[in-house]
Structure 1
Amino acid sequence: MNKAIFHKGSASAITTDLRYKPAIHFSGVDYSIDGTTILKGVTGSFPDGKITTLAGPSGAGKTTLLKLCNGLISPTSGDIYIHGRHIHEYEPVDLRRMVGIALQNAPMVKGSVYRNLSLPLELAGKKLSEDDAASFLEDVGLDESFLHRDSKDLSGGQKQKVSIARTLVNRPRILLLDEITASLDQTSCREIEQLIVKINQRYNVTMVWITHNLDQARTIGHYTWVMIEGEVAETGESSLLESPKTDEVRRFVKGGFA
């Protein structure tokens, strides 16, 4: 029943590192709200087909950056490119299908797992067959017996898997993950980590994952961005967390920030 459910990433000429092509590129992006500056001069790329982890203390602007990636909010200034096209060139609905997002609390709508999986296509006036729904569940490690379970009866780990499967229904090329394991027990956390790695490797989907778990950021991410006070303090391969180049990132890694 399994089938390839992702489109392959396309080429782009916009990059800050010649070793990879960017899925998302930021150029001088600022974001302010109610007179408060949240992001300052963010420039850099999330590499296509790779897992980039976003680390940094609370209030560093990580979630704001994630929301910019699929147009939930717009930058105050600067430019964002998705696979080489300016984000404004995409229709909002098309952009959010291509750039999916999964959240920490894995919100469920009332009703069955099948109802939750069907929602993305229902919003587009389409119908998800039970066979296809079962296939998406299989992709996240759940069998088809879950289809008609009430979503309120699922464990935290099971809800997160269903949330990810629901995001996959739109066949995204990019997945944004906001602290998706923060409230899970160790076993469920490990299962989600393995699931994300499997999806990335099997379908070449780009992942951008916010995490406060530095071990997770280092071991799961191919690349890591460390953000501090709305700025990108350091980026590179995730091994940078073992030997940061800047004093502020060294302090963060050693627990010097709340």
Structure 2
Amino acid sequence: MDERLDPLLLVRELHTSFIQKVSLELTRANCLGLHGESGSGKTLLLRAIADLDINEGTVLLEGTPRERFSGPQWRQRVGLLPAESQWWSDVVADHAARWPRELLSALGFPGDVLRWQTGRLSSGEKQRLALVRLLANRPRVLLLDEPTANLDTANTDIVEQIINDYLHQHQAAAIWVSHDPEQLNRVAASRAIMEQGRFLPEEH
């Protein structure tokens, strides 16, 4: 049996006080595009899968229940890229143990970027650096909340390519939240919509 067809991430009846029972499967090297109006529950669903908010249901990563992981272990393997990244130290380098130089270069950052002050970063720079920080952990699943919302067209194209390459090279999977239907057509093999806490898969 081809393990690439087995679910990498399996979610069954995951729910919160707002999110109604969600069931989904992510296979390797695939991306699920998620859209919906503001306030429909897209971010809350990602946070529930990442186990950042109180939730109930079954979540398995490569067949292993989420409960068998510590919180940090789970969020290293199932990594959330929030719409607004957090920067708690004054210097970029302090925010990750490892910063892949090839990714920094691909995203247009010079060699001294790790010495930059976080207070001088633009919203787009923060977004691109947060992606590098996330991928440095080599997660199996990427939970991407509007990962290109603050980027121009050129950088959006680069980020889309980097994420696509990562999914295929590492046989990882992603849920990509976007308000741009054209972007989801480019990056996602399947799509779903959130409506008032309900997860509704869309037909191809």
TM above 0.5, yes or no, is: yes
**TM norm structure 2:** 0.85
Query: Aligned-pair distance for 1:97?
Result: 1.1
Query: Aligned-pair distance for 1:211?
Result: 0.9
Q: Are residues 1:75 and 2:42 paired? A: no
Q: Secondary structure, in 3 states, of the residue corresponding to 2:101? A: helix
Identity over aligned pairs, percent:
25
Aligned residues of 1:113 and 1:148 also touching (Cα < 8 A): yes
Query: Aligned-pair distance for 1:135?
Result: 4.6
Unmatched runs of 5 consecutive residues or more in structure 1:
1-9, 12-18, 33-37, 119-127, 241-258
Query: Aligned-pair distance for 1:185?
Result: 3.0
Greater relative contact order (CA < 8 Å, ≥ 6 in sequence): 2
Q: How many residues align?
A: 203
The residue that corresponds to 1:207 in the other structure is 174
The residue that corresponds to 1:24 in the other structure is 9
The residue that corresponds to 1:160 in the other structure is 127
The residue that corresponds to 1:44 in the other structure is 24
Query: Aligned-pair distance for 1:221?
Result: 0.8
The residue that corresponds to 2:65 in the other structure is 86
Aligned residues of 1:133 and 1:147 also touching (Cα < 8 A): no
Q: Which moved more, 1:98-107 or 1:141-150?
A: 141-150
- Structure 1 segments of 4+ aligned residues over 6 angstroms from their partners: none
Change in CA separation of 1:210 and 1:20 when aligned onto 2, cut-off 3 Å: same
State how far apart, in whole Å, the 2-side matches of 1:25 and 1:176 are.
Answer: 14
The residue that corresponds to 1:221 in the other structure is 188
Deviations 1:4-40 (A, max 9, x none): xxxxxx95xxxxxxx83222222122211xxxxx122
Q: Are residues 1:66 and 2:46 paired? A: yes
Q: CA RMSD in A?
A: 2.4
State how far apart, in whole Å, the 1-side matches of 2:54 and 2:6 are.
Answer: 23
State how far apart, in whole Å, the 1-side matches of 2:5 and 2:122 are.
Answer: 38
Aligned pair partner of 2:77 in 98, 103, 126: 98
State how far apart, in whole Å, the 1-side matches of 2:38 and 2:122 are.
Answer: 27
